[in-house]
Structure 1
């Protein structure tokens, strides 16, 4: 485990992270999850895991559908927030996805909205997948929802400015040694300059398939958007992998 602070540890616990992304489309996210449930039709008794759950919005929605759900995330701040919604069939735990999962086994694991590929050492992506696979029941499924890297790189917007509640964020995107990097600069409420960054490995489908093989997961299908249309490398906004143990 790295000893230095990793970018996601600091940024995901910042209130400015949640401010910047406050306007994410919750209804679209719920429709996506509903479509996945219809597509995968887990049994009513299935145990579900939301891996890298953030503040728990997807786990809460899954729980409202009647499933037993566990949400895990690296951010203590996010988990503290999510726990106010917990009950006997909805639990939240602070967890690094590289570590073994103590709360399985699960019938279905979700890793949604590009919550993968953050680690500086590429082997840790495989370690994270192996930990998730170990927590799946035999025959269980895992869904990894990632950006379509081919299209994202091709259409990368290098500079953007966004103002939310009086805070102006200056966003700069570029490629750096196999990562898509987003630099985030702004002045905080005290007028101090702040700088964070997001670094997501620019993973192609072929790299994912190598990871899956090493983790003992079989690729069942690849979907290309939140309406679950088939994946097309040139046009799809997403790469949504459905995996089976």
Structure 2
């Protein structure tokens, strides 16, 4: 299994990534952001950073809730697509989430839909948390939405096939040295393709160490997008609410 350390650059910049995940639940995303708006008490005109924003679907919902939103992502293709959504108070830029965004500070920083744990070393992954802390205004709030590793380990679906736009994607999942790895294989126009997703299985205690080091205080942990209470064994997500 030849897995690049920068798999996210290879996979996220292909059209196949968006074909495979074309049916992501827009209503779920809209309701998730609306639930966050009520919990965090969004005020019109507050500034928000959507860190690793992809094609901008959460950024748009944040904007609809009254925030001034900047979405950033490492993928130039994602940002080129997201720029179609731009309007007053909603814009997008290419940026590496390990680096602080130097131009302004934010009332909120969001890192959603398991956009964390991509990097090889704990130090690199910590740099994302440190960058979040540095981007926040004093008293600012952040949300990191991550998979619950306990739930993932218990419910791992090892093999799956998906059929999208005439392509059959063969998906295999495994746990390898503290990472959950997804291998995606398919055949297209006479050529075989293989891509990977690889996410470090950080537990809540691991995040707590990162947060303390970065000067962030954990306020709440929710277990799903309805913001139900987190239960280690049964919650699919760890939606972590932080304050600087």
- Provide the TM-score with structure 2 as the length reference: 0.96
Gaps of at least 5 residues in structure 1 are none
1:140-151 mapped onto 2 (5 Å cutoff): 140-151=140-151
- Residues 2-23 of structure 1: CA distance to partner in whole angstroms, max 9, x if unpaired? xx86100010011000000001
Superposition deviation, residue 67 in structure 1: 1.6
Superposition deviation, residue 177 in structure 1: 1.1
Superposition deviation, residue 191 in structure 1: 1.8
Q: Distance in 1 between matches of 2:171 and 2:103?
A: 38
Q: Distance in 1 between matches of 2:104 and 2:31?
A: 26
Superposition deviation, residue 87 in structure 1: 2.2
- Residues 37-92 of structure 1: CA distance to partner in whole angstroms, max 9, x if unpaired? 00110222210111110000111121122221000001000001111221231110
Q: Distance in 1 between matches of 2:144 and 2:112?
A: 6
Q: Distance in 1 between matches of 2:100 and 2:153?
A: 32
- Residues 139-189 of structure 1: CA distance to partner in whole angstroms, max 9, x if unpaired? 00000011111011111111111111110000000011110000000012x
Say whether 1:139 aligns with 2:166: no
Aligned residues: 241
Which residue in 1 is equivalent to 2:91?
Answer: 91
Say whether 1:195 aligns with 2:186: no
1:115-126 mapped onto 2 (5 Å cutoff): 115-126=115-126
Confirm or deny: 8 A CA contact 1:109 1:136 kept in the other structure: yes
Superposition deviation, residue 104 in structure 1: 2.4
Q: Moved runs in structure 1, 4+ residues, more than 6 A?
A: none
Q: Distance in 2 between matches of 1:37 and 1:9?
A: 31
SS in 1 for 2:152: helix
Confirm or deny: 8 A CA contact 2:140 2:243 kept in the other structure: yes
Which residue in 2 is equivalent to 1:33?
Answer: 33
Which residue in 2 is equivalent to 1:229?
Answer: 228
1:168-183 mapped onto 2 (5 Å cutoff): 168-183=168-183
- Provide the TM-score with structure 1 as the length reference: 0.96
Which residue in 2 is equivalent to 1:129?
Answer: 129
SS in 1 for 2:54: coil
Which residue in 2 is equivalent to 1:71?
Answer: 71
Say whether 1:16 aligns with 2:16: yes
Q: Distance in 1 between matches of 2:134 and 2:35?
A: 26
